[in-house]
């Protein structure tokens, strides 16, 4: 896949998308996440709505140890279905 990075302060943040995934792939992935969220808990450390995402990324930028809310930041899922 294609990855975009941005240097923010002393950290590099990587952004990924879903280019090449069909609507059916995304629906299947969302269903798996809803059925068994623990299956992905070792990879997805934080979930945020679209409106919460900037604050989450700012918190990561300001953290000196790559933690947000006391949890190691691995991968965030931006949920566009949550207001």
What is the predicted pLDDT for the residue at 2? 56
| Interacting residues of 49 by C-beta distance below 8 A, sequence separation 6+ | 78, 79, 80, 82, 83
- pTM for the predicted model, two decimal places: 0.56
pLDDT digits (tens, 9 = 90+) for 11-22: 776 776 666 777
The Cα 75–Cα 42 span in angstroms is: 9
Tokens of 24: 């059916």
CB 49 within 8 A of CB 83: yes
pLDDT digits (tens, 9 = 90+) for 16-75: 666 677 778 777 877 887 788 777 777 788 888 989 999 988 887 787 777 777 777 778
Q: φ, ψ for residue 73 (rounded to 5)?
A: -85, 115
What is the predicted pLDDT for the residue at 52? 92
- Bigger pLDDT: 49 or 10? 49
The Cα 38–Cα 34 span in angstroms is: 10
């Amino acid at each position: 896949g294609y990855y975009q990075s941005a240097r923010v302060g002393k950290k590099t943040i990587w952004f990924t998308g879903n280019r090449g995934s069909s609507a059916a792939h995304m629906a299947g992935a969302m269903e798996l996440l809803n059925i068994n969220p623990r299956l992905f808990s070792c990879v997805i450390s934080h979930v945020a709505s679209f409106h919460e995402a900037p604050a989450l990324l700012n918190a990561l930028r300001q953290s000196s140890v790559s933690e947000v809310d006391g949890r190691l930041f691995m991968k965030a899922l931006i949920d566009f279905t949550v207001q």
